[in-house]
Amino acid sequence: MKYLGDIENGTAIRFFWATNDAAGASASRTTPGAIRVYKDGDTTERTADITDTADFDGVTGLNLCEIVTTDAFYAADGDYTAVLVGAVIDGKTVNAEIAQFSIENRYGGKAAAGIGVAVAAIGVKTANLPADPAAVSDLPTAPDNTGIAAIQAKTDNLPADPATESSVTGLGAAVLAAVAAIAPGVTVAAILAADIDTTGTPLTLKKALEVITAFLAGKAAFDTSTNVLTVYGRDDTTVIATYTLTGNGEHSAAVIA
C-alpha cells in the first residue's frame, strides 16, 4: 500500500500499483475485480469515476489507476482508501488495500487551501482596478485653501436666504405703490420734474441729483484766467454746472446747465 499525499479537492489522482503471484513474480489478474474508494473508515463506497488499467502498456502485473475527485463524495478534511476487491491472481482471490490519499486534510494542504481562498478574495477586490493605475504624482494637488478662505471672507456676511431678482423688482414696485398712496395721481416722473427751488431759475429734483452726482463722481476743472470752475459729468465731457469764484474762494455766479 502506498500513501499518495494530500491533494487539492476536485483534482484527478493517478498511481501505479503491482500484482504478484505467490512467489513474488509479477502476475496478471485473471479476474480483474473492482477498485472501491472508502472515506474515513465508513462503509459507504464509491466505484464511479475510477479507471483501472490492468497490465499497463503490456507490462505484466503493472496496473494504472485514475480517480477523479469532483463528486461530492470527495471533500476537504477527508482521508480516502483505495481497495481492490474480488480479483483473482495466481488462482487466489485477492482483496487488498492498494493506496491511501487525503484531500486538504494535512497541515500543508490546509495552508495551501487557506492561501487559495485568500488569493481568491483579493482577486475579487482587485479585479476592477485599471491595468495601469495612476501614479502618486498624477493625483490632484491639495486645494487652494488660501483662495477658499478669501472667498469665504466675502460670503460669510451674506444672508442665509438672499433676495432673488424678483424680490428686488417687487420692492421697487412696492416703493412706487407707496408713493402713489401718499400722493394719489402723482407719478415719479412728475416728482423728478417738479421745481424744488422757487427763488430763481427753476431747479428740478432730477437736475439737483445730477449736480450732486457730478460733484461726487464727475470731474472738475478750474480756469485760473477766468476764475471759473467747471463741473463735468462722469463722461468728462458734458458740462453740468459752472461757478465763477472770487479771490477768497466764494462763487459770485453759478450756472447749472
Rg of the chain taking only CA atoms, in angstroms: 55
Q: What is the DSSP code (8-state) at residue 75?
A: -
| Cell 507490462, located at residue | 59
Q: Give residue limits of the domains in the chain.
A: 2-108, 188-256
Among 71, 68, 125, smallest CA distance to 101 is for 68
Domain 2-108, CATH:
2.60.40
> Measured between alpha carbons, how far is 168 from 173 in angstroms, rounded to an integer?
9
| pLDDT at site 198 | 62
| pLDDT at site 153 | 85
> Measured between alpha carbons, how far is 222 from 217 in angstroms, rounded to an integer?
17
| pLDDT at site 216 | 75
Q: Are strands 2-7 and 92-103 parallel, antiparallel or unpaired?
A: parallel
Residuewise pLDDT in 10s, the chain (257 residues): 799 999 999 999 999 999 999 999 999 999 999 999 999 989 999 999 999 999 999 999 999 999 999 999 999 999 999 999 999 999 999 999 999 999 998 866 566 666 777 788 888 888 888 877 777 667 667 777 888 888 888 888 777 777 666 665 666 666 667 666 666 666 667 666 666 666 666 677 777 787 787 777 767 888 888 888 888 887 888 888 888 887 666 766 667 76
| pLDDT at site 252 | 65
Enumerate the β-bridge partners of residue 242.
230, 255
> Measured between alpha carbons, how far is 233 from 212 in angstroms, rounded to an integer?
10
pTM of the prediction?
0.44
| pLDDT at site 135 | 75
